[in-house]
Amino acid sequence: MDIFEKAYNYHAAEDVRKLGLYPYFRMNETAVDTTTIMNGRRTVMIGSNNYLGLTSHPEVKEAAIKAVEKYGTGCTGSRFLNGTIDLHVELEEKLARFMKKEAALVYTTGFTTNQGVLSTLVQKGDVVISDRTNHASILDGCRLAYGKLIKFRHNDMEDLERILVNLKDKEAGKLVIVDGVFSMEGDVADLKHIMPLAEKYGARVMVDEAHGLGVLGKYGRGACEELGVLDKADIVMGTFSKAFASVGGFIATEARVIDFLKHNSRAFIFQAAPPPAAVASALKALEILQREPERLVKLRQNVSYMLKEIKAYGFRTWPTESAIIPIIIGEDLKTFQFSKMLEEEGVYVNPVVSPAVAPGWACIRTSYTATHKREELDFALEKLKKVGTALGIIGPNAPGAPVETVPVPMSTGARKKALPRTFPLLPKDKDKDKGENLQKTFLKLPWAIYRQDKNWVPPMITELETLFDKEENIFYEHGEAQAFLAKRGSEVVGRIVAAIDHRANKNHGEEAGFFGFFEVDRDYGAAESLLHTAREWLTERGMKVMRGPMAFSQLDGMGCLVEGFDFPPAIMMPYNPEYYPEFYDTYGLQKVQDLYAYQLDAKSAIPKRLEKLAEHTHQKEGVEIRRLRMSRFRRDMATIMEILNDINSEELGFTPLTKRDLKYFSAKLKPVIEPDLVNFVEVQGKAVAFSMLLPDYNEVLKRFNGHVGVTDMLKFYLYSKKIKTVRFTMLGVKKAYRRRGLETLLYLKSFQNAKELGYSSGELSWVPEGNKAITKAIESNGGKRYKVYRVYELKI
């Protein structure tokens, strides 16, 4: 393969260029100050990191000019050899005093400062523990290090402590690293709790003050000074490319550590020294910061004013505490539109999209300086409001508007009031207080969420109605549930169900509830509101754990798809957008279990060893195989229930099945079962194992948009005869008969049957990740894992 192939296949940037929305590499025609000239017009700059407004300060420019006159334009080598000049040493000494540390070391760039320090200090056997949203330079430095990298959830002290407690090697060297100010979110690290946790578990702490230096703290030393923990920070890193009006970076820590880095850090030893002009500029900026503390005051006043006004307009922001105010847009394309329209209005901002932020969290990153004039800020506010309104970012239905969660009454006899065949996009909910209208809106929401997703398969409307009908779904005999809709203004933006299976809790001796039927726009605010509402509903009823996503039974779907979005779901399998896992992670839900789906080729040759093993098992005395007989369907289903109750007693969420369950699930399965794809193994005339394959009716259902009327029955029948795939749904062997080869016998017989009936491929699901014997057997016999579903939980 040509190594350039990946470049030839890359088209994301070109796609945006074709739309006329490409926002990168915009050219400044003057110095970047509070304003700049772009495309020949004066543009208000609210997208630079020139926090103290020093890049155009006369003294800073003069210092750079004098340095060039004295030392030339470069140092012609690395600091380690011939590249050190007296300005380097002077800057390091002054930075050490300013940061109240023993010594400092200057690197050529801020990016390579983090790379150089982390890759040198974190060696084999050590552990570096990083906030998930740390800057790319930190993450790259961690990857270059030979030690182990572990990430904790953003500013989540419980997660950080969990990691520290569970480290297997208690004697390993440990370094916790965080941004003092997070560069996209603008919030500050929870250093008041990080420091004591690190001390408790014997870890060192490194704080990247790139966006805190010259912004926070009484004297501008950063977040550590702001929070009163500067003396507790083992290593402080800073850059010159923000408040210090230059380029470069530094580290401040103990003198012995600095000496070690000087002689071992490859990014320091083998990189050309910072040029004289850059060093002189940073020196002068440090001098001005110490001489003119009023710049800090003015910067904070400007930021406070903008944050207040931006929130008043209804824009969503992160809980920023710095000079950075991100405005959350949500969609990548709309973020590009926002940026382009603002530029045309004379305001520069930075669009930030995934992977720099999580999917659904694209934002406009605005930042401010001490030298912004009020009229410049007011001009920017006017344009922000104009563009935000035009794009629907602000207003009663905008993403920043409050989310209301509305309970939906569970129906009784819903099937008598069938939903219409066609599903328009969601209405404006004119009849706000009508329970029946809420029920219909709840049921048809997926048609709006997935309207542009080619892989989604619309569920059968009658099936949906049954699930939420208290008279028809037996779940309500031993459980309780509540559905909710999320609304922003008049728009419905999401749904969720919170439920408790009291029978399952009694069986497993726990107090657990679950959430399911979760559907939401690419809108984390709505997702958070829905999850929080479900959590509160469960908490009020005494539950201690919330799991999900789950439906009322495994036949109705369980788990969130986290891998395999390029394929449609097989029959009775869930499906969801790619951004759901990120929403769950952000909310704090943690993985309980992964479930695998394997792709199988029904026409491929069966390995000879499998055939021999199956033949040997079949020849054993008393072992017989028979297929399901529709004439005794209820009795065969009772046999399946008996086997499932024997083998699944400890499975996640499993509840022993009763005669009522038998009747209910038999009715659900009978329309889709192909009797020649269901096999039983009998030993001395007693059924001890079974397997079930189902034709993948999703191939057909996709054509009917969830409704098969009387006039459609012939079409449905004809399409059904053309189904080419199956789903290996269940395989069960009673505990007393395991490890006798019955699993292999059923596996082989199932695919022999599928091949005879003309099916070409299939899916085998679910397979728990912990079942290594089964996963290994499937993979060694040609099965390809192509989907992963995840079940989450949260202690409440």
Q: Provide the pLDDT for residue 416.
A: 45
> Strand pairing partners for 678?
692
**620-670 tens-digit pLDDT:** 666 888 999 999 999 999 999 999 888 765 555 567 788 888 888 888 889
- Choice among 403-412, 636-645, 686-695 with the minimum mean pLDDT: 403-412
**732-768 tens-digit pLDDT:** 889 888 877 887 788 888 888 898 899 999 999 888 8
Known active-site residue 183: yes
Is the separation of the CB atoms in 387 and 338 below 8 Å?
yes
Q: Provide the pLDDT for residue 130.
A: 97
Tokens of 50: 């020139």
Distance of CA 587 to the CA centre of its chain: 10
Tokens of 714: 């012939």
* Extended strands (E) in 428-587: 479-488, 491-501, 512-520, 545-548, 560-563
Q: Of the listed 48, 119, 137, 183, which one is catalytic?
A: 183
**Rounded to whole angstroms, what are the CA distances from 639 to 190, 368, 628, 645, 652?**
57, 71, 11, 10, 22
Residue 434 has pLDDT above 80, yes or no: no
Which bin fits 686, alpha (ψ -120 to 50), beta or left (φ > 0)?
beta
- Choice among 324-333, 343-352, 766-775 with the minimum mean pLDDT: 766-775
Q: Determine what percent of the chain is predicted with pLDDT higher than 70.
A: 92
- Choice among 73-77, 504-508, 617-621, 782-786 with the minimum mean pLDDT: 617-621
> Strand pairing partners for 328?
316, 363
- Choice among 58-72, 643-657, 698-712, 729-743 with the minimum mean pLDDT: 643-657
Contacts of 738 (CB under 8 A, 6+ apart): none
Residue 49 has pLDDT above 60, yes or no: yes
What is the distance between the alpha carbons of residues 137 and 129, in angstroms, rounded to a whole number? 15
Q: Provide the pLDDT for residue 424.
A: 34
Residue 495: how many other CB atoms lie within 10 Å: 24
Cα Rg of the chain, angstroms: 31
Q: Of the listed 211, 284, 385, 787, which one is catalytic?
A: 211
130 sits in which H/E element: strand 127-131
Tokens of 664: 């209910």
Tokens of 146: 């030979």
Mean pLDDT, range 35-49, rounded to an integer: 94
Tokens of 508: 């497993």
Residue 102 has pLDDT above 90, yes or no: yes
Give the chain's mean pLDDT.
90
- Choice among 100-104, 447-451, 681-685, 776-780 with the minimum mean pLDDT: 776-780
Residue 606 has pLDDT above 70, yes or no: no
Q: Provide the pLDDT for residue 648.
A: 66
Tokens of 636: 């065969």
What is the distance between the alpha carbons of residues 231 and 235, in angstroms, rounded to a whole number? 10
What is the distance between the alpha carbons of residues 751 and 543, in angstroms, rounded to a whole number? 43
Is the separation of the CB atoms in 444 and 420 below 8 Å?
no
Q: What is the value of pTM for the model shown?
A: 0.63
Is the separation of the CB atoms in 63 and 283 below 8 Å?
yes
What is the distance between the alpha carbons of residues 22 and 5, in angstroms, rounded to a whole number? 23
Q: Of the listed 242, 440, 487, 787, which one is catalytic?
A: 242
Give the torsion through C-alpha atoms of 49, 50, 55, 57, to 10 deg.
Answer: 180
Tokens of 660: 């009522």
Q: What is the DSSP string of 321-376?
A: -SSEEEEEEESHHHHHHHHHHHHHHTEE-EEE-TTSS-TT-EEEEEE--TT--HHH
What is the distance between the alpha carbons of residues 249 and 702, in angstroms, rounded to a whole number? 57
Query: Nearest CA to 119 among 253, 272, 260, 240?
Result: 260
Residue 603 has pLDDT above 60, yes or no: yes
DSSP state of 651: S
Is the separation of the CB atoms in 362 and 352 below 8 Å?
yes
Known active-site residue 691: no
Mean pLDDT, range 564-588, rounded to an integer: 92
Mean pLDDT, range 153-163, rounded to an integer: 92
Known active-site residue 616: no
Tokens of 44: 């208000």
Residue 771 has pLDDT above 70, yes or no: yes
Looking at the chain, the number of H-run helices and the number of E-run strands are: 28, 27
In residues, how long is the chain?
796
Which residue in the block uniquely carries the two structure tokens 């009522």? 660
What is the distance between the alpha carbons of residues 197 and 215, in angstroms, rounded to a whole number? 26
Query: Nearest CA to 711 among 388, 421, 381?
Result: 421
Residue 456: how many other CB atoms lie within 10 Å: 18
Q: Provide the pLDDT for residue 423.
A: 34
Angle CA 352–353–357, to nearest 5 = 90
The answer, yes or no, to whether the previous bond of 549 is cis (omega within 30 of 0) is yes
> HSE of 556 in the Cβ direction (CA atoms, 13 Å)?
19
Per-residue confidence band for 705, with pLDDT thresholds at 50, 70 and 90: confident
Is the separation of the CB atoms in 366 and 49 below 8 Å?
no
Query: Nearest CA to 285 among 99, 54, 96, 53?
Result: 54
Which residue in the block uniquely carries the two structure tokens 């208290």? 470
The 3-state secondary structure of 238-261, one letter per residue: EECCCCCCCCCEEEEECHHHHHHH
* End-to-end Cα, the chain, rounded Å: 51
